[in-house]
Amino acid sequence: MWVFGYGSLIFRPSFPFVERRDAWLPGLARRLWQASPDHRGVPEAPGRVATLVPDPGARTWGTAYRIADHDVEEVVLALDHREKNGYERRPVVLETPRGPVDATVYFAGPSNPSYRGPESDDQVADVVRIAAGPSGSNLDYVAELAAAIGEAGERDPHVENVLALATRRR
């Protein structure tokens, strides 16, 4: 089984895997439009974390992890718990340097109660700047995500802009 990470799974997978690859998901764009009342915020002041939105011209970079057969059940249970706030598992086909890969992605669409999009980058940055939860500050999350994307030689203008706006307003 392959799992695609496009948010914190890139820099903090926290599960065993036997292979890791750069991967791209065509037709979807990363947006910080999912409220996080349980990791990067609290119920009274939820932070913002990544989800994916349809965009025909987009190609979202992330990390694909191959899970050993004997670990699949345990990893899926852990990810179902970690991604519980409005995320659901969906099958996708990823583009990788070694060809297409069938994978699972955790996707939080507009029908879930924690979806906040569309929000402007300014609106997201205002939340990111001050939100914090059990997994740390929302600003640290966005900074780690931006750093991981950059270290891979990729760009995400939305994440970069939110980070710049949130940092500038501190």
Provide the annotated active-site residues: 83
Cα(93)–Cα(167) distance, integer angstroms: 35
Q: What is the DSSP string of 35-58?
A: EESSSSSBTTB-EEEEEEEEEEEE
Judging by beta carbons within 10 Å of its beta carbon (0-12, 13-18, 19+), is residue 157 exposed, middle or buried? Answer: exposed
CA-to-CA separations, 103 to 22, 60, 130, in angstroms, rounded: 13, 14, 34
Cα–chain-centroid distance for residue 57?
Answer: 19
Task: Write down how long the chain is.
Answer: 170
Provide the 8-state DSSP code for 16. Answer: -
Provide the 8-state DSSP code for 115. Answer: B
